[in-house]
Each structure stands twice: as C-alpha cells, then as structure tokens.
Structure 1
Amino acid sequence: MTEKTFLTTTDALLPQVGRSVSIGDKKIALFQLSDGRITAIEDFCPMTNGPVLEGIVSGEYLYEPLRDYKISLIDGRIQEPDEGQLKVYELLIEDRNIYLKGASL
C-alpha cells in the first residue's frame, strides 16, 4: 500500500491559479495546468527567499512573482539564464482527492 497524505480536492483548484497547502512547517503550491494535469512544488524560491504561489502560470512554467524567474512546474528547475531548483512533489489523485505520495517532504 502506498503511503499518502491528503492535501485537498480537485474541486478546490482553478486552472492556472495556485493553491497553498501546509503540512507541518512545509508549504506546498498546487497548480492545475491548462491541460488538466495537477502539479505540486515547494512554495519557496531559493533565489528570492519568497513564496512562488502568486506567480503567473504559462503552459508548464511558473513565473516567480518577485523577480519573474521562469520555473518548470514539472521538474522544478529555474530556467536559463538563471539557475536553481525547487522541490517537486509526487501526487496521487483518487476520486477527486489529491494526496502527496510517499512520506518524505
């Protein structure tokens, strides 16, 4: 059996608008892409030391709200010419419920 932690429901998400969830002291930003996929990324940019939740989503990328860094919502990489990495979380979706897959944050 896969270990999982409930985050929210798919009904709580709006396309291309971030939703914040907290697990302990960790903040996770969830995004529903325009094609319906749902991604989860840490809600903290190492370049600005600020949240990414309010960024603008375009395709598979998030434009960080403070400095406009382009971040992949698929692998968490900050795109060139900048560099850096945000943690991406694996999700499990069952019956409209969104779970964080596994135990590690």
Structure 2
Amino acid sequence: MTQWIKIGALTDIPRLGSRVVRTPGGNVAVFRTENDDVFALDDRCPHKGGPLSQGIVHNKRVTCPLHNFVIELATGEAVAPDEGCTRAHPAKVENGVVWLSLRQTVPAS
C-alpha cells in the first residue's frame, strides 16, 4: 500500500522551480515543469551532493547548480556522458494538490 503525503497546492511551486520537503530520510525536492508535471527526487546530485532543488529545470530535467550535471526528473538518472542516479519518489497532482509518496528503503544486511 502506498501512503501519500499532501505537499500543498500546485501553484505553491513555481513553474520551472521546486519546493523542498524535509523528511526523516533527508530532503526531497518536488519539481514543477512548464507543463505542470510534478516529479520528486532526493535533493542531492549523485555527483557531489549538490542541492538539485536550486538547479535549473528545463523540459523534464534539472541541471545541478554546482557542476552542471543534468538529471532526468522522472528517473533520477544522470544524462550521458554524466553517470549516477539519485532516488526518485512518486509524485502526483489531484485537483490542484501535490502529493508525494516516500519509498521505504531497507538497509543492506
């Protein structure tokens, strides 16, 4: 069962911008595209941990503000030639409200 957390109104997130949600597992950046699609990623670039929430959103990607790594918003994967991945979280909009689901991770034993 997926548990959804209400983030707020879609209009609270600027177009081509983001909002940071503080969670027990770390900060999650919730992004809004020009077409009002929403995506959520851990707020850490896979390169050197830069704050993706402060990056430039373009199409369905974000460019890290530190070293210009480009990250796919849907998957968290770096765009070639860059390598790496940040965790993506399910996000959706219903009736103008943004919802976020935080995936539970189990530490390796």
* TM-score (normalizing by structure 2): 0.84
1:68 & 1:103 partners in 2: Cα distance?
27
Do the aligned partners of 2:50 and 2:64 also contact (CA within 8 Å) in 1? no
Identical aligned residues as a percent? 25
Aligned to 2:79: 79
Aligned to 1:92: 92
Which runs of structure 1 show a deviation greater than 4 angstroms over 4 or more consecutive aligned residues?
Answer: none
Do the aligned partners of 2:6 and 2:97 also contact (CA within 8 Å) in 1? yes
- Aligned-partner SS, 2:17: coil
What letter corresponds to residue 66 of structure 2 in structure 1? L
What letter corresponds to residue 62 of structure 2 in structure 1? L
Do the aligned partners of 2:63 and 2:70 also contact (CA within 8 Å) in 1? yes
- Pairwise mapping of residues 1-105 of structure 1 onto structure 2 (< 5 A)? 2-101=2-101, 104=104
- Aligned-partner SS, 1:18: strand
1:6 & 1:77 partners in 2: Cα distance?
25
Q: Any idea what the Cα deviations from partners look like across 1:6-59, whole Å, max 9, x if unmatched?
A: 222212111001211112242111111111111111101121122111111111
- Deviation at residue 94 of structure 1 after TM alignment: 2.8
- Deviation at residue 64 of structure 1 after TM alignment: 0.5
1:102 & 1:86 partners in 2: Cα distance?
14
1:99 & 1:39 partners in 2: Cα distance?
10
- Deviation at residue 69 of structure 1 after TM alignment: 0.4
2:19 & 2:13 partners in 1: Cα distance?
7
1:101 & 1:12 partners in 2: Cα distance?
18
How many residues are matched? Answer: 105
Cα RMSD between the aligned structures? 1.8
- Structure 2: gaps of 5 or more residues: none
What letter corresponds to residue 68 of structure 2 in structure 1? D
* TM-score (normalizing by structure 1): 0.87
